[in-house]
Structures are given as C-alpha cells and as structure tokens.
Amino acid sequence: MTRFALTIEFDGGPFFGLQRQDNGPSVQQSIEDAAHAVTGETVTLHSAGRTDSGVHALAMRSHLDIEKPFEPFRLMEALNAKLRPDPVAVIGCEVKPDDWHARFSCIGRSYEYRIRNRRAPLTLERGRAWHVARPLDAGAMHAAAQALVGQHDFTTFRSAHCQAASPVKTLDRLDVTREGDGVIIRAAARSFLHHQVRSMVGCLALVGQGTWGIDQLAEALEAKDRSALGLNAPPEGLYFVKATYPEEK
C-alpha cells in the first residue's frame, strides 16, 4: 500500500463542497471515482480542509492509499484523464510515508477571498468573485482586520453547523489589499472554523462601505454570539490557497 499526496485545483461551482455529500456531487466523489476507474480499488480521499458549495481551491492537499504500484506522475496523468470533464485537476502527486496525513499533519492553512469592486456586472469572473458595487475602502478594511488577528473566541464568526470542539482559534494573518478594482483578503491560521473566513470578510465589507466602524467589528468579536454577525460573504469569492506541513516550512 502506497500513500500518495495529491495537490488539487478545482472550481467549486458545480459541487456541493469538497467533502462527499449524500445530496449532490462533491470533489471527493469525483476523485474517488476516478481513482477506482484507474486502479479498480475503492479508496477514500482525505483532505487538509473542507470547502462549502461554490468554494474553490488553488492547491488543496489530499491523500489516498493505493495497493497497485504507480509512479506518481503516471497516477496524476491517469486521474486527470478520468476526471474530465469535471473542473478538477490533480496538479501535483508524490509518495509520502504511511504516517503522513493530509489533515492531521497539516500545521497551517491559507485562504484568499476575492472581491470585484465595480459598478459593472461580472462576466469572466461570475461565480469566481463577490461583486460589490458600492465603493470599498480597502485601507479601512485592513486596519479593522487587525483586531481579529491573534487568539480569540470566534463564536460570532462561526457557522451554527460548525463541528469544531472549540470556537477559540489563532488567526496568524488577515490582510486586505486593493489591486485595481479588486479587493483581496488573505487569511492564514493553523485551522479555521466553518464559515469563519466568509464571516470575517462580510463584516470587513461593511467596514469598507462605511456601514460599520472598527469599533463595531471589535464589538461583534467580543459578543461571542452569531447573532452579532453583520454579514456572511457568499462562497464564490473564497479560495483555498495552501496547506503547510512541517517538512515543507
């Protein structure tokens, strides 16, 4: 049995999420079905994180165990051939020790949220960015975001369906930058709560529009109450960017 670590890129639009679902297609199901077609084996895909319906990934890390001998490059090519036409691609494949785990060995996760801040509707980026027509002050958003960096109880920014044992997380980075009419929010932490990034982005957008000030964001955090959340950003602007492991730091 060989453990293969996969790096996966996908468009989350057609899927109900990364994790296998009973009520619709998932990225996990697509890859497991492709692996079965290639190897004849029933395998289980384990991933560094979960994603909601509509959320994308630039480099999700996952692993699966396969009995049949394969060179990593050949396995990657075979999986990609079977994944078509699903918008999923294996962009990296390597052998890992048996004790390496895509989820439990991961020591850091990074996300990016993309806002297109303009009056005109989206065309090329429809389904891949959040369209906000009202002007956003990215500088104010970045300044407010620093109130969320560090260790906090993020209950306000946590989905009611979150299964994490504790709402306390340490946010290592939350940066907001403007690139033309794009506003990019980059977040990094060891792990995140369900909806945490989208909830933080939604509230930062309120700050950027002038609806909230920095004080309101801090008060929402301190409330430790989901009802204090101002806005949950839609899923289509969110991208899983990177998973970090001790041997790769």
Q: Are 223 and 97 in contact (CB under 8 A)?
A: no
Residue 216: other Cβ atoms inside 10 A: 16
Q: Which DSSP state fits 121? A: P
**Which one is catalytic: 52, 98, 137, 175?**
52
Cis bond before residue 85 (omega within 30° of 0): yes
Indicate the length of the chain as a whole number: 249
For residue 46, with 0-12 CB atoms within 10 Å meaning exposed, 13-18 middle and 19 or more buried, which class applies? middle
Active site residue 52: yes
Cis bond before residue 69 (omega within 30° of 0): no
d(CA 169, CA 149): 10
Positions marked active-site: 52
